[in-house]
Amino acid sequence: MIKSGARLQSQVCDTQIIVIRASENLTHLRCGGAPMVPVGESTTAAAGPDPRFADGSAIGKRYTDESGAELLVTRAGAGTLTIGDIPLQLEQARALPSSD
């Protein structure tokens, strides 16, 4: 099971993440169509992300799913972050209260 604080990397692109909030769904976490692995672990020599999952991930952005999982991208890449085949949602910035 993937826990909060885990650092993971894609096997098919440069994407790296830190798990901010874990959930049971993260056992099916993928990037670019391939399972993510711990940072530093050797990766398979894949040609790149699956074209269906190649929308990319943005550095410094948080991605969430309906189960409450939250991931922070620490290195951008070409692969889409997914739980199984369902893309994670980019978390929108919260509006600050006005100072008026």
The predicted-structure confidence for 67-84, as pLDDT tens digits, reads as follows: 899 999 999 999 999 999
CA 17 to chain centre: 6
The pair of structure tokens assigned to 49 is 């992300």
Distance CA 57, CA 89 (A): 11
Which residues are bridge partners to 8 per DSSP?
17, 38
**Domain residue spans of the chain:** 7-90
For range 49-58, the mean pLDDT: 92
pTM assigned to the model:
0.87
